[in-house]
């Protein structure tokens, strides 16, 4: 008689699932109209790992809560023709242009009226980054 070794269900190793921590990501994004906000909300809600999105039109601020990485959010917003950068109190015109350059986007700065500047991302169907 041989020894029968039977595996019990409790003896099986279950694959470990990596649990990503939830984080809050605050970004500065050129939002100057409700259509801009709606486009960003529509795009980000489709991303896996996003559990909440808050926008502040007056402050040009987008806050995303979830397990998604910041660079993924910035890339997704960039595909909409918008420039996203980490939230901090700084000069909009300098930081928006620097973010566009760092992301490898082709852009130009336009001044339609004295004191009002826009960052226009080239080759994007619709963009309106007010500075």
3-state secondary structure the chain: CCCCCCCCHHHCCCCCCCCCCCEEEEEEECCCCHHHHHHHHHHHCCCCCEEEEEEECCCCEEEEEECCCHHHHHHHHHCCCCCEEECCCCCHHHHHHHHHHHCCCCEEEEEEECCEEEEEECCCCCCCEEC
In the structure encoding, which two tokens stand for residue 98, read together?
Answer: 């620097």
In the structure encoding, which two tokens stand for residue 130, read together?
Answer: 């007010």
Q: What order do you get walking across the sheet with 107-113 strand by strand?
A: 107-113, 116-121, 129-130
pLDDT, one tens digit per residue, over 25-68 is 999 998 878 898 999 999 999 999 999 999 998 889 999 999 99
62-71, 104-113, 118-127 — which one is most confidently predicted on average? 62-71
Residue 7 has pLDDT above 60, yes or no: no
Does the 23-86 domain belong in CATH 3.10.450.50? no
Section 6-30 average pLDDT:
76
What is the average pLDDT score of the chain? Answer: 75
Residue 93 has what pLDDT?
A: 47
When mean pLDDT is compared across 15-24, 97-106, 116-125, the lowest value belongs to 116-125
Residue 21 has pLDDT above 60, yes or no: yes
Confidence bin at 112 (pLDDT 50/70/90): low
Contact predicate 63/53, CB 8 Å: yes
The answer to pTM > 0.85 is no
Residue 78 has pLDDT above 70, yes or no: yes
Q: What angle, rounded to 10 degrees, do the helices at 70-78 and 34-44 form?
A: 130
Map out the domains of the chain as residue ranges.
23-86
């Amino acid at each position: 008689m041989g020894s029968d070794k039977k595996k019990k269900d409790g003896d099986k190793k279950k694959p470990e699932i990596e649990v990503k921590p939830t984080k809050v990501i605050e970004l500065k994004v050129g939002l100057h109209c409700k259509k801009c906000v709606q486009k960003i909300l529509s795009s980000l809600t489709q991303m896996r790992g996003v559990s909440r999105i808050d926008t502040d039109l007056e402050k040009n601020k987008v806050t995303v809560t979830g397990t998604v990485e910041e660079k993924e959010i910035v890339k997704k917003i960039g595909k909409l023709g918008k420039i996203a950068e980490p939230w901090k109190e700084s000069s909009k015109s300098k930081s928006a242009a620097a973010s566009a350059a760092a992301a490898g986007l082709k852009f130009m700065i336009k001044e339609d009226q004295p004191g009002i500047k826009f960052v226009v991302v080239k080759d994007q169907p619709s963009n309106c980054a007010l500075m």
